[in-house]
Amino acid sequence: MKRVMLVVAYDGTGYCGWQVQPNAVTVEGVLNQKLSELLHEDIKVTGASRTDSGVHALGNVAVFDTESRIPGEKFSYALNQRLPDDIRIQKSMEVEPDFHPRHCKCWKEYEYHIFNAEFANPIERLYSYFVYKKLNIEAMKQAAAHLIGEHDFKSFCSTAAQTETTVRTIYGIDVESQGNSIVIKVRGNGFLYNMVRIIAGTLVQVGLGFYEPDRVKEMLEAKDRTAAGPTAPACGLRLNEIFYNVDKNCG
Amino acid sequence: MKRVMLVVAYDGTGYCGWQVQPNAVTVEGVLNQKLSELLHEDIKVTGASRTDSGVHALGNVAVFDTESRIPGEKFSYALNQRLPDDIRIQKSMEVEPDFHPRHCKCWKEYEYHIFNAEFANPIERLYSYFVYKKLNIEAMKQAAAHLIGEHDFKSFCSTAAQTETTVRTIYGIDVESQGNSIVIKVRGNGFLYNMVRIIAGTLVQVGLGFYEPDRVKEMLEAKDRTAAGPTAPACGLRLNEIFYNVDKNCG
């Protein structure tokens, strides 16, 4: 028995998110099916980030246990031959049997893409949030700076979520202009349900002038979901990468 | 009666190209249908570039004649409300009645996108050509330089095409690396059938080391389609922009 880690990229457009659900096509479900077919075992993967319907990933992480003698690094090639072209394994490797993608310490990087122009660009439509009013990027940068550090992000968490604590640490937020696109890159040690999309929705409201940048401080202090801005659409979000401290203990 | 020009962006993934065909969904066909519905006239647009199935555009150009009193610049808003989200008008304006998007002098800019990494990126798959072997960009740049200027591009034209002359002028070709993407940007006064895709396919062969960069000179001299490289896939191609000399005479 060995444990294999997969780095998984997918276009979330055609999936009802990561997590297996009855009567819905999910990324986890497709991986379970294709791995089980490949290995003639009943494989169930465990994912790091259970991304929502329509959210994309360049580097989500999953593990599974198998009796197979295929070397860890060969699974990427074998699986990619069977997967639909909107899911592609970027890397595979054998890991320690106690490595768990959600319980082991890590930090994650997400990107949120906004297309800001008078008219939408059809080839960006599946991967960005279209905003036709001109956004003030400097104001968005000022607002984002208030979110950096350790904070209680309860105002930036969808109420459906139940977690022990809503305190998280954001290491950095970059708001960058790339042509007509605005990219918000967020790195942190963990993210609450819908947290990056609520951050993006709030920064868009700031960029439109509905809120002053400093208002974000009050939003954090309120610890109330209704204090922050709306949840921006799923298609603008992509999980870039998850970094594990693989040299040290999992805990 | 007035003539209106449209700048049209589209995701070519779902279309059998620009030009109207029986029993196929085309960009021209959708524009004709939506304009006719909007204006209660039988509208037939005339396009500048009859892009192939799967090719994208940020700025194709079309004109139509109408009795409508809607101001030229308002058509973009009215049409976008009716169009599917993979077609978006970027601009509309009234033009002179003798303005013809194919007969008036212009230059065009195309971009060809290659995704060059060990594994494909699902969110780039519809808009780039995936090449997993490492490409030598310097060699591609050297090869591209031979194509700049006025040449007989007969070797870079699909044999199906019938034109009076196969002499064209390329003003510039840039081969740029952007992360894992390689973008070939080509500007010229006219392009033969499949010309940019054959240029891209040839440059990929050079980047893979199958041809020396100087071989492109011999390919031009051969004036024979079989001398050049393969036609690269349609999805990597996008028509960026068409520039008309609108201050002067159309001819």
Average pLDDT of A167-172? 96
Asked if residue A96 is part of any domain, the answer here is yes
CA neighbor of A5 nearest in space, from A92, A66, A74:
A92
Q: Inform me whether the pLDDT recorded for A251 exceeds 70.
A: no
Report how many domains make up chain A: 2
Catalytic site positions of B: 52
Asked if residue A248 is part of any domain, the answer here is no
Give the best residue of A15, A88, A181, A239 to mutate against chain B (max B CB count within 10 A).
Answer: A88
Q: Which member of B56, B119, B123 has the closest CB to residue A76?
A: B119
Out of A111-120, B77-86, B240-249, pick the least confident. B240-249
What pLDDT does residue B246 have?
63
What are the pLDDT digits (tens) for B22-68?
A: 999 999 999 999 999 999 999 999 999 999 999 999 999 999 999 99
CA neighbor of B53 nearest in space, from B18, B85, B16, B22:
B16
What pLDDT does residue A160 have?
64
What pLDDT does residue B250 have?
61
Q: Inform me whether the pLDDT recorded for B247 exceeds 60.
A: no
Min Cα–Cα distance to chain A from B9, Å: 7
Q: B45 Cβ partners below 8 Å, 6+ apart?
A: B6, B28, B31, B32, B35, B62, B63, B64
Give the domain range for residue A123: 106-242
Mean pLDDT (chain A, rounded):
95
Q: Inform me whether the pLDDT recorded for B248 exceeds 60.
A: no
Do B118 and B94 lie in one domain? The reply is: no
Measured between CB atoms, does A193 come within 8 Å of chain B?
A: no
Structure-block tokens of residue B31: 């524009």
pLDDT band at residue A57 under the 50/70/90 scheme: very high
Nearest CA in chain B to A86: B122
The DSSP secondary-structure symbol of A2 reads: E
Do B62 and B121 lie in one domain? The reply is: no
- Residues of B numbered 106-165 whose beta carbons fall under 8 angstroms of chain A's beta carbons: which are they? 119-123, 125-127
* ipTM of predicted assembly, 2 dp: 0.91
What pLDDT does residue A159 have?
75
Do B202 and B220 lie in one domain? The reply is: yes
Nearest CA in chain A to B76: A119
Q: Inform me whether the pLDDT recorded for B139 exceeds 80.
A: yes
A104 or A123: which leads in pLDDT: A123
CB B126 within 8 A of CB B53: no
CB contact under 8 A, B119 and A87: no
Look up the CATH number of the domain holding residue B217. Answer: 3.30.70.660
Catalytic site positions of A: 52
CA neighbor of A147 nearest in space, from A80, A198, A87, A91:
A198
- SS3 assignment, position B156: helix
CB contact under 8 A, B11 and A122: yes
What pLDDT does residue A250 have?
62
Q: Inform me whether the pLDDT recorded for A247 exceeds 60.
A: no
Distance CA B157, CA B151 (A): 12
Do B82 and B116 lie in one domain? The reply is: no
The DSSP secondary-structure symbol of B100 reads: -
Average pLDDT of B105-113? 96
